[in-house]
Chain A
């Protein structure tokens, strides 16, 4: 069964510094996708970044980068130059079965990030 693990319930980071949010996953499907979503206190779910299992390079989107280590089954999110607005809950997620009928995306328990001024 697929599984996503986020071991950091909460993280603190100083404004303008970089922070890494950890995520490990487990799947037997060779084709899968990894995602990070942000949930601010307002409650909406915002897509940040995606990494495909066959992608050779780590994904980057602005200040977000995904440190994909396939052999270790880890997909850590790196946020550079943290801003106060980055304070939120961050969810790692995995989708299996790119070519099957039912796409199923499961989520980790989340990490709450606090950015200090």
Chain B
């Protein structure tokens, strides 16, 4: 069983469209995240939810809206897609327990979004 699963893996769409990426984790973790990895491989945190509550909201355009229906799911909806939104979006989860409270991130496989 995949620990953190994201769908879809690839997404190609036109500018101006709206799209969603879904994420589910079966690790029992209490915190989930969205990261964006750009073409230069730089990883930047976008959002974090802890037990369905938004706790980190970085400087992200409000066209991006995360939703966490329960602590095992975190979805990302993007409105009015722009060329600059093309990237790989990683979902991750963590738990504050384990490895002395390290909060190790377990990542999904990533969703590659291409905006034409």
A-side interface residues toward B, CB under 8 Å?
A: 33, 35, 37, 39, 43-45, 47, 50, 52, 55, 89, 91, 93, 95, 98, 101-107, 109-110
Chain B interface size band reads: 20 to 34
**CB–CB B41/A45 < 8 A:** no
Given contacts A103-B103, A104-B45, A107-B43, 20 further A-B contacts (CB under 8 A): A33-B102, A33-B103, A35-B104, A35-B105, A37-B105, A43-B88, A43-B109, A44-B110, A45-B90, A47-B105, A47-B106, A52-B102, A93-B105, A95-B103, A98-B101, A102-B48, A102-B56, A103-B31, A109-B41, A109-B42
Interface residue from B96, B101, B105 paired with A45 (Cβ < 8 Å): B105
**CB–CB B96/A91 < 8 A:** no
Instruction: Determine if B7 is an interface residue (Cβ-Cβ < 8 Å).
Output: no
Instruction: Determine if B62 is an interface residue (Cβ-Cβ < 8 Å).
Output: no
- Tell me the dominant secondary structure on chain A's binding face: strand
CB interface residues, B 27-65, toward A, < 8 Å: 31, 33, 40-45, 48, 50, 55-56
- Looking across the interface, which residue of chain A has its beta carbon closest to that of B109? A44
Give the complex CA separation of A106 and B104 in angstroms: 12
B-side interface residues toward A, CB under 8 Å?
A: 31, 33, 40-45, 48, 50, 55-56, 88, 90, 92, 94, 96, 99-107, 109-110
- Distance from A29 Cβ to chain B, minimum over Cβ atoms (Å): 13
- Distance from B7 Cβ to chain A, minimum over Cβ atoms (Å): 15
List chain A residues, Cβ under 8 A from B55: 101-102
**CB–CB A103/B45 < 8 A:** no
List chain A residues, Cβ under 8 A from B96: 103
Interface residue from B99, B100, B103, B110 paired with A43 (Cβ < 8 Å): B110
**CB–CB B99/A50 < 8 A:** yes
- Looking across the interface, which residue of chain B has its beta carbon closest to that of A46? B107
**CB–CB A103/B109 < 8 A:** no
